[in-house]
Chains A and B, each alone.
Chain A
Amino acid sequence: MQAFSDPRAAWLARLGDATLILGHRLSEWLSRAPTLEEDIAMANLSLDLIGQTRAFYTHACELEGGESDETTLAYRRAEPDYRSPLIVEQPNGNFADTMARHLIFSAYALPLYEKLAGSNDAETAGIATRSSREMAYHLRHAGEWMIRLGDGTAESHDKAQAALDDLWAYVPELFEADDLDRDVAASGFGVDPSTLRENFAAAIGDVLAQATLKKPAERRGQRGGRSGRHSEHLGHVLAQMQFLQRAYPEARW
């Protein structure tokens, strides 16, 4: 797969990489969630993210032109081609780990999509508008769970705090702008993620206060996914996700 020549396409595909990998991770919970309602919720969250991925990928391919389509981007690329932040490939862990990861991601993605709804590209603005309304459900769901776990029993509190502490190393990467971010933000197409920190801090602060959880100390953080340098986890995700298309290229329903 060749790199994108249109920065708008590269940037949208990067958004799609994040939602694809997180959507796949959440789908791993199916039939394993703690209650039936939560199993259904996890399926819905996963479906939203994979649906958003399809919209981001499809529009990226329209902007880029050429042969690639959503299937190529999802199933026929290798680890370095994915530009998703490291947090989304982190394993599901226990339920608190999954909810802490989702709280962090949705508190980042909601203001991102809200700002992207003002994109100078009408189709991108439309996709972002709908996705932001869905992401509000994600943030509420993850927030309610973190409050319930944090303000629950001693054990649930400790697990929720440990989950946050573990995942906090992956937060800085979400808000670091690179040349691509600055380029699409300057042209009025995209959003510079460094402008989202305050929205993120406000949403997280609100949830953690109600959850009686402590905000972890700022650390230097782990980074690399957004430039294609991933942990071992992504390869395992892709091995499962891409198996069918790799074993039976051009397979169709």
Chain B
Amino acid sequence: MSAPAIEIASRAEAARAACARVTDPEVPVLTIEDLGILHEVDVDERGRVTVSILPTYSGCPAMGVIALGIETELAKDGFDDVRVELTNTPVWTTDRMSEAAREKLRAYGISPPGRGAGKRALFEASADVACPRCGSKDTERVSEFGSTACKALWRCRACREPFDHFKCV
């Protein structure tokens, strides 16, 4: 019994590595692993792969594309029988993003979300948001809603550039 168990474990590892190559269609510098969207990858004894992913913002239309990306990447590595499930247990939050992912976002021109999702008081000003281009904290919010469900519109008063800020949820 132990040999197949080890084989299944290494197959699961290979399947997870394939899934981890999938990038977010809206923010292509981040993989779904970086974002904390990729949750569990299991392979059963018949070779069937079950991938669970955590939906981000309720209305994010990227989930369908991400599921398709997972199937495509797994097929490249020989996994043909794939099921992708959405689960809200645990619930996704921006706190699941790694430091490395935050740095990638900044380098891409999107100011990363602050830590401590859901802690902000209702009408309290948001914490300092640094400009991803010049680093200045002399910035202002243009709109809390931007080009996608995950982004708000900001501008920098120092370098005068507009930029996207990843919403903290």
Contact = CB atoms under 8 A, between A and B. Distances in A.
A132 interface: yes
B89 interface: yes
B147 interface: yes
Interface residues of B, number: 28
A133 B147 contact: no
Interface stretch (B40-48, B52-60, B75-83, B104-112): B52-60
B115 to A, nearest CB: 14
Nearest to A55: B58
Given A47-B59, A143-B123, A130 B143 contact: no
Given A50-B59, A143-B123, A206-B123, A122 B89 contact: yes
Given A40-B145, A44-B149, A51-B59, A133 B118 contact: yes
Interface string B117-146: 110101100000000000000000011111
Contact of A41 (B87, B91, B143): B143
B58 A51 contact: yes
A6 to B, nearest CB: 19
A92 to B, nearest CB: 18
A158 interface: no
Contacts of A45: 145
A166 B95 CA distance: 41
A40 B59 contact: no
Given A127-B88, A143-B123, A206-B123, A44 B58 contact: no
Interface in B56-99: 57-61, 87-93
Contact of A133 (B59, B90, B146, B169): B169
B118 A136 contact: yes
Contact of A126 (B91, B142, B144, B153): B91
Which of A45, A52, A126, A144 has most chain B Cβ within 10 Å? Answer: A126
Nearest to A45: B145
Contacts, number: 93
Interface in A102-146: 122-123, 125-127, 129-134, 136-137, 139-141, 143-144
Main secondary structure of the interface of A (DSSP, over half): helix
A118 to B, nearest CB: 13
A67 interface: no
Interface string A28-51: 000000000110110111111111
B111 to A, nearest CB: 17
Nearest to A46: B59
Nearest to A110: B122
Contact of A37 (B57, B58, B117, B153): B153
Contacts of A140: 122-123, 144
Nearest to A139: B122
Given A37-B145, A130-B88, 15 more contacts: A38-B143, A40-B146, A41-B143, A44-B146, A48-B57, A50-B59, A123-B87, A123-B88, A127-B88, A129-B118, A130-B58, A130-B91, A133-B117, A136-B120, A141-B144
Q: Which 4 residue pairs of A and B lie closest in terms of their CB atoms, listed nearest first?
A: A51-B58, A126-B88, A51-B59, A47-B59
